[in-house]
Amino acid sequence: MSTPLVEARGLGKRYPVLGHRGDRASALWDVLRGRPARRHVSVLEGVDFSVQPGESLAIIGENGAGKSTLLKLVTGVLTPSAGHVHTRGRVGALLELGAGFHPELSGRDNVRLSAALHGLDAKALAAKLPEIEAFADIGSYLDEPVKHYSSGMVVRLGFAIIAAVRPALLVTDEVLAVGDEAFQRKCIRWLDDYLAGGGTLLLVSHSLYHVRKLCRRALWLQHGRVRALGDVFEVSQAYEAAQAEKSAGEAASEAAATARTPGEVSLAAVRLNGDAGDGPVALGQGGALRCEIELASRDGRPPVAMLGWLHADGTPVYGVSSEMDGAAPEALGQGRFRFVVDFPALPLLPGRYRLRAIALDAEGLRLFDQRERELVVSGESREFGLVRLPHAWRAP
């Protein structure tokens, strides 16, 4: 195996707490004595990962998870409080807006300065300058002070320099979230070409579409720790499901746990692909699901069964009842009935879902009991939404 371009082991970052009078003096005294601050907040802790040449790794997580801090440690902007990180080869970084640009200098002078920092001599810069100007496409603003630039123009110039230098390792932090749509498309095309040419990418983005498009692996940070590291589809889908569950809030939990009304009908058993347990059921995208529902009817009349599909965030996906489809149950005796529903090829996109089984009276009017099971649909897909609609692209 080749030598990693980035290797982090036990990486951590702490900051002293400076919220009260005397905290600064105390923190300075701790530094002078060569020991960590007594009052500190941990931003990153125990982070391990590596990036091989030609790999693309996305770093995902909520705001405040430590993503930007991790990139600053990788690029040497910050020094770690624990562990170590090593980088090899030429590194190009696009972090905070304006980082590395002198606001009083013109864009052209900043280009010269950045080129020198990347190891380009005057001759190499002269050859690259037309390419930088064309990529940035900011016109006469190139000779204006950077302090007059909009945030989008700063990113245009910064990305243009990186595109001309083509570093061995590119580190970016939410660059694609800034700038107009045309420039974003230009950046995506360049990144595709960069990766196809063997470039190595370390990307922070809240856009899971771009994460799945550009990266093969993903690292999920949660509260400064590594929650998951692996295949980009598996990790991003797990993160997306966790976000959906969080956004559902307590209201969805309460709805899922609605108290059962003792009465005429109850759910005796719910089996998904033969599994009658309470844990999640795993399915591949397009997989088949058999749902068996056993109900107990106190008065012996055939009850009505209903199935409701929900996304993890509580968004309704689909609902159907035996009454709607004119389906009669199998009588098992002693007031028990069974429905069997087959879903031969679920069109659900990868993610987490809940299947809610509901028991209603014989008229289908009153709800007496309900249970939920979680389904985890896995697969490699960058499509949007909840379901995959059958379609075909045809040549004109």
Does residue 10 sit within a domain? yes
C-alpha span between 367 and 379 (Å, rounded): 35
Do 228 and 111 sit in the same domain of this protein?
yes
C-alpha span between 280 and 282 (Å, rounded): 6
Can you give the pTM of this predicted structure? 0.68
CB atoms closer than 10 angstroms to residue 293: 24
Do 294 and 192 sit in the same domain of this protein?
no
Do 21 and 94 sit in the same domain of this protein?
yes
What is the predicted pLDDT for the residue at 256? 46
Do 263 and 192 sit in the same domain of this protein?
no
Considering its fold, how many domains does the chain have in total? 2
**Mean of pLDDT values over 333-361:** 91
Does residue 396 sit within a domain? no
How confident is residue 221, by pLDDT bands cut at 50, 70 and 90? very high
What is the predicted pLDDT for the residue at 259? 42
Does residue 252 sit within a domain? no
Do 229 and 313 sit in the same domain of this protein?
no
Do 27 and 176 sit in the same domain of this protein?
yes
Does residue 248 sit within a domain? no
Does residue 19 sit within a domain? yes
How confident is residue 46, by pLDDT bands cut at 50, 70 and 90? very high
Do 34 and 147 sit in the same domain of this protein?
yes
Angle, CA of 185, 195 and 9, to the nearest 5°: 115
Render pLDDT for 370-393 as a digit per residue (tens, 0 to 9).
888 899 998 888 888 888 888 889
Q: What is the mean pLDDT of the chain?
A: 84
Whether the per-residue pLDDT at 212 is higher than 50: the answer is yes
Domain that holds residue 322: 258-378
Does residue 132 sit within a domain? yes
Residue whose structure tokens are 């659900």: 348
Do 234 and 187 sit in the same domain of this protein?
yes
Whether the per-residue pLDDT at 257 is higher than 60: the answer is no
Do 60 and 208 sit in the same domain of this protein?
yes
Do 154 and 235 sit in the same domain of this protein?
yes
Does residue 92 sit within a domain? yes
Render pLDDT for 69-120 as a digit per residue (tens, 0 to 9).
999 999 888 899 899 999 988 888 887 655 578 889 999 999 988 888 888 8
Do 232 and 287 sit in the same domain of this protein?
no
The token pair at 341 is: 């529903």
Does residue 394 sit within a domain? no
